[in-house]
Amino acid sequence: MKKLFTVAMAALLCASVQTVFAQPVAIPLSAFGTGYGVQSGSGNVVRAFVGEAAIGRSAGGGDVILVGFLSGATRLGGGIVSVPELREGIPSTFDLEQNYPNPFNPTTTIRYQIPAANRVQLKLYDLLGQEVATLFDDVQEPGRYRLVFDANGLASGMYVYRLQAGSFVNTKKLLLLK
């Protein structure tokens, strides 16, 4: 009787098991020996620049992947890498975005926008409020901008960056991990 019950339960369990199939998901890994490389497939594009920190952008399928160095950026050997204007029309408001990647080592990107020509100051402070670096201080036309900051020479820790443009002032935190 016990054997019959076990066989009946096994048959019932097997009959209720369903198989679920899904599309395979794969993220191809690539190694770049020297220079600049592009990996693409399945509608996604990954751009990488050897020896640089993860800062670029790749989008596909509703996902954004940050990898490689932003195209057009020129490395200056420490400090600011570049501050190109992003051509996306004139913004209607001031804004300072959170840096990415965050935490970072040793470079990070800070984006901001200004709706009118202003003197723009972007400064970095330690948590004691002491100015550590002036990242940008000049007059800029209305637009969207990104600044790639190289923190070589700074100690690991939490810092605050502050954007002042006209009467607009905003601060954000960033974390440098070495």
What is the pLDDT, as a whole number, of residue 89? 76
Would you give the DSSP letter of residue 52?
S
Q: Which of 2-6, 72-76, 84-88 has the lowest mean pLDDT?
A: 72-76
126, pLDDT greater than 70: yes
Phi, psi of 100 (to 5 degrees): -145, 145
DSSP 8-state assignment for residue 85: E
Answer yes or no: is 31 within a domain: no
In a domain, 158, yes or no: yes
Distance CA 44, CA 84 (A): 25
Residue 52 lies in a domain: no
Q: Quick check: is 79 in a domain?
A: yes
Tell whether the model's pLDDT for residue 99 goes beyond 60. Answer: yes
Tell me which residue range forms the domain holding 122: 73-176
Integer Cα distance of 170 and 98 in angstroms: 11
- Residue 138 is predicted with a pLDDT of 93
Note if the bond before 84 is cis, omega within 30 degrees.
Answer: no
What's the mean per-residue pLDDT of the chain? 71
pLDDT at 90: 86
37 occurs within a structural domain? no
- Indicate whether 156 belongs to any domain: yes
Residue pair 47/38 in contact (Cβ under 8 Å)? The answer is: yes
* Distance in angstroms (rounded) separating the CA atoms of residues 58 and 20: 30
How sure is the predictor about 142, in pLDDT bands with cuts at 50, 70 and 90?
A: very high
Whether the per-residue pLDDT at 174 is higher than 80: the answer is yes
Reply yes or no on whether the pLDDT at 56 is more than 50.
no
In a domain, residue 126? The reply is yes
Q: What angle is formed at CA 97 by the lines to CA 92 and CA 101, rounded to 5 degrees?
A: 150
Number of independent structural domains in the chain: 1
Instruction: Please report whether residue 123 resides in a domain.
Output: yes
Residue 55: is its pLDDT beyond 50? no
Query: Phi, psi at residue 160, to the nearest 5°?
Result: -120, 130
CB 68 within 8 A of CB 47: yes
The closest of 143, 35, 156, 160 to 99, measured between CA atoms, is 160
CATH number for the domain that contains residue 121: 2.60.40.1930
